[in-house]
Amino acid sequence: MIAFCGTKSYIFLARAAFLLGGYLCFSTLTLLSSSGPPEPMAELPTRVLIVVGAPGEVEFGTNFTRQATLWQKACQQAQCSATTIGLTDSAPTNDYELLKQTLDAEPKESAAALWLVLIGHGTFDGKEARFNLRGPDVSAADLAAWLRPFHRPMAVIDSSSSSAPFLNKLSGTNRVIITATRSGNEQNFARFGQYFAEAICDAQADLDKDGEVSLLEAFLMSARRVAEFYKIEVRLATEHALLDDNGDGLGTQADWFQGLRAVKKPQEHAAADGLLAQQFHLGVRDTGAKLSGEQRRQRDVLERSVLLHREKKNQMAEDQYYRELEKLLLELGRFYDSNPINPATAPLEPDKEHAHQH
């Protein structure tokens, strides 16, 4: 039988349930004790660049400013560093040059994640997509060249219309790329950015109840709200957001996910998207586990191993699959048993019906 006891065990059970698609299915799992938690390491703060584009009409300018304000507030709550471009006078240069200079000044090698948030309008001429700035617009090719020297975790959230070609250009290893559209031809004003700015610190978007909203969770919540908007307004949807985090440049739509798992792929043998985005968080807040930066990275490696193993279920003999799954879950269980958790802010005990024997 499965032996669980204590707050840390319930936290492990809750996260494991979501990793396995809403239920546990293995024969025996006992959380093992250890000699104590490792020495805590300094947390590496996420670095966020918020770029507000040319508004055009006043109505859009108000909306873009509100989005930027929500991002600034979220960054402040998450205690991460944020720089905003596009809301103040950029003289003696323009926003194109200012963005380039800001990226040039960023460390290219770092374990700290860099997030680039593009808020505004986009265009597509059939060959090249551009994000509209005050002054010269930045193209997908421009941004790809500027980001090429970076070898650090990176997320790009392009909430503009016609943004899909940015995904194709920017996709790469250890990157999460999110666009408001699935095609450069979706050129109408995109509402995705507003919903994303609201979701990034909305507890309702926290699907796995770990006290943090991941990029994947914010993406899914935002896309759902976009779909609801068009349904309520009885209008044909003119935007379909994409997420790519496996480096293949194909992207996955939100309605291809079941919970936190992609159940449909853009190509038959394509790798699943969402695994990396599930581990990108804006920052560590006081609503979840008290883990250092190194401990969080250890947890992410262990959880990613479970997620990748789950993708092999239909390719392995059933007994072998569950034997290897049990080993991975035991490792994850040991991690939770040996690392500090704040019981007062831990996730709720999972529904007991989600824990059962195979």
* Per-residue model confidence as pLDDT tens digits over 228-248: 999 999 999 999 999 999 999
Residue 251 has pLDDT above 90, yes or no: yes
Per the rule left: phi > 0, alpha: psi between -120 and 50, beta: everything else, 206 is: beta
Query: For position 290, what pLDDT does the model report?
Result: 57
In sign, the C-alpha dihedral spanning 285, 288, 290, 296 is negative
Query: For position 13, what pLDDT does the model report?
Result: 56
Query: For position 315, what pLDDT does the model report?
Result: 75
Query: For position 306, what pLDDT does the model report?
Result: 75
pTM: 0.77
In sequence order, the β-bridge partners of residue 257 are: 262
Cβ contact 216:274 at 8 Å: yes
- The arithmetic mean of pLDDT across residues 184-191, rounded, is 96
Euclidean distance between CA atoms 310 and 104, whole angstroms: 39
Euclidean distance between CA atoms 228 and 271, whole angstroms: 29
Query: For position 351, what pLDDT does the model report?
Result: 36
In the block, tokens 């449909």 appear at: 264
Euclidean distance between CA atoms 284 and 194, whole angstroms: 23
Percent of all residues in the chain with a pLDDT value above 90, rounded to a whole number: 55
Euclidean distance between CA atoms 127 and 184, whole angstroms: 9
User: Of the ranges 77-91, 223-237, 279-293, which is most confident?
Assistant: 223-237
Provide the pLDDT confidence category of residue 264 given band limits of 50, 70 and 90.
Answer: confident
Cβ contact 208:190 at 8 Å: no
Segment among 9-13, 177-181, 256-260 with least mean pLDDT? 9-13
Q: What is the mean pLDDT of the chain?
A: 82
Query: For position 286, what pLDDT does the model report?
Result: 42
Residue 31 has pLDDT above 60, yes or no: no
- The arithmetic mean of pLDDT across residues 90-115, rounded, is 92
Cβ contact 192:241 at 8 Å: yes
- The arithmetic mean of pLDDT across residues 258-281, rounded, is 87
139: enclosing H helix or E strand:
strand 138-139
Query: For position 340, what pLDDT does the model report?
Result: 57
Closest of 114, 260, 129, 247 to residue 182, by C-alpha: 129
Query: For position 116, what pLDDT does the model report?
Result: 98
* 159 vs 16, residue with greater confidence: 159
Query: For position 74, what pLDDT does the model report?
Result: 95
* Per-residue model confidence as pLDDT tens digits over 292-332: 667 767 777 777 777 777 666 677 788 888 888 888 888 87
* Per-residue model confidence as pLDDT tens digits over 44-81: 689 999 999 999 888 899 999 999 999 999 999 998 99
* 226 vs 20, residue with greater confidence: 226
Residue 342 has pLDDT above 90, yes or no: no
* Per-residue model confidence as pLDDT tens digits over 154-171: 999 999 999 999 999 999
User: Of the ranges 9-18, 30-39, 83-92, 113-122, which is most confident?
Assistant: 113-122
